[in-house]
């Protein structure tokens, strides 16, 4: 099997052939894509190493499933905003994919191999309005110039180019030739703490203000308008040197192998995290998700750790919060499903620094719906929004007094078969040079205690905070 650089010649030949076929159609803009299997490689490390400062990039890793994606450059970007952003981005992506010319290896391909779109959707319809989020559109899915997908020991390399009427195939592929030839084995750097200078940590709002916001939310819930609302905090970290997204990503996937480790990079910053929460996984006619709500801390003592999990499992407050999320997801999926199954009782899942309650849900769809469409159907779940959502939305805006941007949004990918995965952008941070914006939220229900909810945000911030302050 050739290495990434060695496959360049074959991929370029396939692209030239595809471009000629596309031009013969005389249909205007056409996606031409070429894919080859290569020697095992680390897609994320290749993306971080080969990306240019002037282009977007994307890394996605699920270590426990031995699955990873890396993508960089942009052949096409679908963007939108407002209430129809999922539908409009989905339509743009499918329009390009369905009329494409693809040169693929023989045999079945793993998910993510071949042309795919990567990116995400901000939490709110209009996206982040704060200056820190200026380079992150409310909805943005990018068809990369080059991507790699790895499942187990199989790695596939894909290059994409848009065929335009009258364009010279040689000119269209020339920009990719050098980049493909220069690809090689890559590894992610280790975190290298600064030996000089100090790191500053500051909450955007004082802890007492957050506790008062929680108390106010509890009063709203007791008034009968809401059953749950999620409130989040923002913490700023200023380092003596620029934060290294590649090193941080490598650390996250080592520490959180059971999570969805992601990084969406732009010319100005990177949104990075290790999310425990699957929003949706679409595979053919099947859609799966997990209701995640209610959590407690971990302990280094196995007996104490197990006891904490048992307490959580029998907590009336946390079981109530979990049930609110599971019920809403079921209601959203049932009209589009032939059948739907949800676990009868939640289970405790253990992550490095926290253990939440989770209820797996699987549905067989009545008709094909893409991964992006399914993400739009479910976002935002009560795990990050509230119930009912029309009542919770203005309460979040009022009581949080912060700009979530892509935090708690939908982050993920969709391939040419319309399969894909989106996680919820939790346990995350926005990196901009020396500054990092960290986010953590908690679900507020009638039995919530302000001090306990503040403490829970501290546990959740503990996923990234130690790595950014070393």
Interatomic CA distance for residues 355 and 274, integer angstroms: 14
Q: Where are the domains of the chain?
A: 8-181, 200-268+277-468
Which positions ≥6 away from 425 have C-beta within 8 Å? 120, 123, 262, 271, 273, 275, 406, 407, 408, 409, 410, 411
Q: What is the pLDDT of residue 28?
A: 74
- CA 282 vs CA 155, 285, 338, 430: distances in Å: 21, 7, 15, 27
Confidence category of residue 358, pLDDT binned at 50, 70, 90 = very high
Q: What is the pLDDT of residues 5-35, one digit of tens each?
A: 678 889 999 998 888 888 776 667 889 999 9
Angle in degrees, CA 466, 406, 430, rounded to 5 = 35
Q: Which helix (H) or strand (E) holds 62?
A: strand 57-62
Interatomic CA distance for residues 343 and 346, integer angstroms: 7
Q: What is the pLDDT of residue 63?
A: 95
- Give the 3-state secondary structure of residue 123: coil
Q: What is the pLDDT of residues 52-100, one digit of tens each?
A: 999 999 999 999 999 999 999 999 999 999 999 999 999 999 999 988 9
pLDDT of 353 > 90? The answer is no
**Spatial CA neighbour of 276 closest among 371, 344, 356:** 356
| Mean pLDDT of the 336-348 span | 93
Q: What is the pLDDT of residue 5?
A: 67
**Spatial CA neighbour of 432 closest among 248, 189, 244:** 244
Sign of the C-alpha dihedral, residues 204, 207, 212, 218? positive
Assign domain 200-268+277-468 to a CATH class. Answer: alpha beta
Residue with tokens 């071949």: 114
Q: What is the pLDDT of residues 202-216, one digit of tens each?
A: 888 999 999 999 999
pTM: 0.95
**Spatial CA neighbour of 419 closest among 78, 93, 45, 106:** 93
Q: What is the pLDDT of residues 86-136, one digit of tens each?
A: 999 999 999 999 889 999 998 889 999 999 999 999 999 999 889 999 999
**Spatial CA neighbour of 100 closest among 418, 394, 355, 354:** 418
Torsion of the alpha carbons at 289, 295, 243 and 64, rounded to the nearest 10: -50
Burial 216-240 (b: 16+ CB within 10 A, else e): bbbebbeeeebbbbbbbbbbebbbe
Residue with tokens 């790695």: 155
Confidence category of residue 310, pLDDT binned at 50, 70, 90 = very high
Number of H helices, E strands in the chain: 12, 23
Averaged pLDDT score across all residues of the chain? 92
**Spatial CA neighbour of 8 closest among 40, 42, 32, 34:** 34
Interatomic CA distance for residues 464 and 129, integer angstroms: 24
Interatomic CA distance for residues 411 and 274, integer angstroms: 11
| Mean pLDDT of the 271-289 span | 96
Q: What is the pLDDT of residue 378?
A: 97
pLDDT of 446 > 70? The answer is yes
Interatomic CA distance for residues 135 and 122, integer angstroms: 12
Interatomic CA distance for residues 301 and 312, integer angstroms: 17
* DSSP-derived pairing of the beta strands 270-275 and 260-265: antiparallel
| Mean pLDDT of the 295-300 span | 85
Confidence category of residue 194, pLDDT binned at 50, 70, 90 = low
Give catalytic residue positions. 228, 277
DSSP bridge partners of 168: none
State how far Cα 276 lies from the chain centre. 10
| Mean pLDDT of the 215-223 span | 94
What percent of the chain has pLDDT above 70? 97
Q: What is the pLDDT of residue 27?
A: 67
Q: What is the pLDDT of residue 209?
A: 95
DSSP 383-421: TTSEESHHHHHHHHHHHH-S--TTTTSEEEEEETTS-EE
Q: What is the pLDDT of residues 450-465, one digit of tens each?
A: 999 999 999 999 889 9
> Is 444:453 a contact under the CB 8 Å cutoff?
yes
């Amino acid at each position: 099997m050739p290495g990434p650089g060695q496959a360049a010649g074959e991929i370029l030949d396939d692209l030239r052939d595809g471009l000629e076929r596309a031009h013969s159609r005389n249909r205007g803009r056409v996606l031409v894509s070429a894919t080859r299997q290569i020697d095992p490689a680390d897609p994320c490390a290749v993306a971080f190493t080969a990306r240019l400062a002037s282009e977007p990039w994307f890394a996605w890793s699920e270590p426990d499933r031995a699955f990873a994606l890396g993508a960089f450059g942009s052949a096409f970007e679908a963007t939108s905003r407002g209430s129809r952003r999922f539908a409009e981005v989905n339509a743009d992506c499918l329009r390009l994919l369905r009329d494409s010319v693809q040169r693929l290896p023989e045999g079945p391909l793993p998910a993510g191999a071949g042309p795919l779109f990567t990116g995400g959707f901000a939490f709110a319809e209009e996206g982040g309005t704060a200056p820190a989020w200026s380079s992150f559109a409310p909805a943005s899915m990018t068809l990369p110039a080059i991507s790699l997908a790895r499942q187990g020991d199989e790695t596939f390399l894909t290059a994409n180019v848009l065929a335009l009427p009258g364009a010279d195939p040689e000119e269209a592929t020339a920009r990719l030739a050098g980049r493909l030839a220069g690809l090689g084995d890559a590894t992610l750097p280790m975190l290298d703490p600064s030996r000089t200078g100090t790191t500053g940590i500051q909450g955007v709002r004082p802890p007492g203000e957050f506790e008062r916001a929680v108390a106010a939310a509890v009063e709203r819930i007791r008034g009968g308008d809401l059953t749950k609302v999620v409130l989040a905090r923002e913490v700023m970290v200023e380092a003596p040197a620029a934060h290294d997204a590649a090193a941080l990503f490598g650390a996250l996937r080592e520490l959180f192998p059971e999570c969805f480790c992601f990084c969406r990079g732009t010319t100005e910053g990177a949104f990075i995290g290790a999310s425990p929460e699957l929003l949706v996984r679409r595979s053919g006619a099947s859609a799966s998700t997990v209701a995640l709500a209610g959590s407690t801390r971990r302990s280094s003592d196995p007996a104490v750790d197990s006891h904490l999990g048992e307490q959580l499992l029998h907590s009336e407050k946390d079981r109530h919060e979990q049930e609110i999320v599971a019920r809403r997801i079921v209601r959203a999926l049932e009209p589009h499903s032939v059948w739907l199954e949800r676990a009868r009782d939640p289970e405790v899942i253990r992550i490095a620094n926290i253990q939440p309650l989770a209820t797996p849900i699987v549905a067989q769809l009545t008709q094909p719906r893409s991964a992006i469409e399914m993400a739009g159907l479910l976002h935002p779940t009560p795990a990050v929004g509230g119930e009912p959502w029309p009542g919770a939305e203005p309460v979040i805006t009022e009581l949080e007094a912060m700009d979530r941007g892509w935090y708690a949004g939908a982050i993920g990918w969709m391939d040419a078969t319309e399969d894909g995965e989106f996680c919820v952008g939790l346990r995350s941070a926005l990196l901009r040079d020396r500054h990092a914006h960290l986010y953590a939220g908690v679900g507020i229900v009638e039995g919530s205690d302000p001090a306990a909810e503040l403490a829970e945000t501290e546990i959740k911030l503990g996923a990234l905070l130690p790595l950014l302050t070393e």
